[in-house]
Amino acid sequence: MSLLIIAGLTLLLLAWIAGEPWLVERRRDRLRARPFPAAWRRIIARRVPHFRRLPADLQLQLKKHMLVFLAEKPFIGCRGVVVTDEMRVTIAAQACLLILNRRTGYFPGLRQVLVYPEAFVVDRVQADGFGVTQERRHALSGESWSQGQVILSWDDTLAGACVVDDGRNVVIHEFAHQLDQETGHANGAPRLGRRERYARWSQVLGGEYEALVQRTLAGQPTLLSDYGATDPAEFFAVASEVFFEQPQRLAAEHPALYGELAGFYRVDPGSW
């Protein structure tokens, strides 16, 4: 009798696991059908001028994504920050730019968003060219952890949101890392779908990354921040910032890179 009970419970568990994605999507459909709060619209109008650049259909899609994102992702204030709707909505509006027109799990690895009032300090162990390691302190405006956290400075979040064409946006940067980390450790190769796309992605982004490294070492001016020369993961995040904030320049100066990012993000911000 006990074996029959165990078998029955096992079948119920398997049925629940098989049906969970359907249940999640049903719940998200209900969230997307809710009216978008008027107070949130006012926050977007005041804090996220990028929203006004979007075509009407993408504005609607962004608001629907935000309803799901804000229902699913908890926000935690750090160093005395009391999280407000203004913070949550401002961050969500920028993060959800990255999932427009895409089949999305709403950053499935993300468990929480931590908000600091300003740049936060972390200690990092680094090795110099001689193999000697030492601990150094860094002031950061944001970080994305593969363990499920995005950490943001509120001051830098506001600064990145209010200027839409400087190619600098900490929310876009850190949530690009989250997309990259869906495949494991961030390496500049996010989930692309079809296997054959990776060869072209590697060729274009790898070549652009190496070119940025060389220009940075030579002290030459670049459209992409020299922080993108740190490693391929940072290059992808930096390129994503420029893709959304300076699309015309990126398309003109780096057309192959723009094409790969447009294919990945499934939007063409140069036409907005």
Question: What local confidence, expressed as pLDDT, does residue 183 receive?
Answer: 87
As annotated, the residues of the chain forming the CATH 1.10.472.150 domain(s) are 34-186
- Summarised one tens digit per residue, pLDDT across range 105-123 is 899 999 999 999 998 776 5
Question: What local confidence, expressed as pLDDT, does residue 206 receive?
Answer: 98
Question: What local confidence, expressed as pLDDT, does residue 236 receive?
Answer: 98
State the architecture of 188-272 in CATH terms. Answer: 3-Layer(aba) Sandwich (3.40)
Query: Radius of gyration of the chain from Cα atoms?
Result: 21
As annotated, the residues of the chain forming the CATH 3.40.390.10 domain(s) are 188-272
Q: How far apart are CA 91 and CA 81, in angstroms?
A: 15
Question: What local confidence, expressed as pLDDT, does residue 222 receive?
Answer: 96
What pTM, to 2 d.p., does this model score? 0.88
For residue 191, the tally of other CB atoms under 10 A from its CB is: 10
Query: Percent of the chain, pLDDT > 90?
Result: 79
Say how many residues make up the chain.
272
- Summarised one tens digit per residue, pLDDT across range 194-250 is 888 999 999 999 999 999 999 999 999 999 999 999 999 999 999 999 999 999 999
Q: Is the pLDDT of residue 136 over 70?
A: no
Q: Does domain 34-186 have CATH number 1.10.472.150?
A: yes
Question: What local confidence, expressed as pLDDT, does residue 12 receive?
Answer: 39
Q: Which residue has the tokens 């931590």?
A: 114
| Amino acid, single-letter form, for residue 190 | P
Starting from the edge strand earliest in sequence, which strands make up the sheet with 142-145, in order? 75-77, 112-116, 149-153, 142-145
Q: How far apart are CA 147 and CA 150, in angstroms?
A: 9
Residues 68-94, mean pLDDT to the nearest whole number? 98
Question: What local confidence, expressed as pLDDT, does residue 38 receive?
Answer: 98
Q: Is the pLDDT of residue 134 over 90?
A: no
Residues 6+ apart with CB under 8 A from 242: 167, 223, 224, 249, 250
- Summarised one tens digit per residue, pLDDT across range 13-48 is 443 344 568 999 999 999 999 999 999 999 999 999
Question: What local confidence, expressed as pLDDT, does residue 14 receive?
Answer: 41
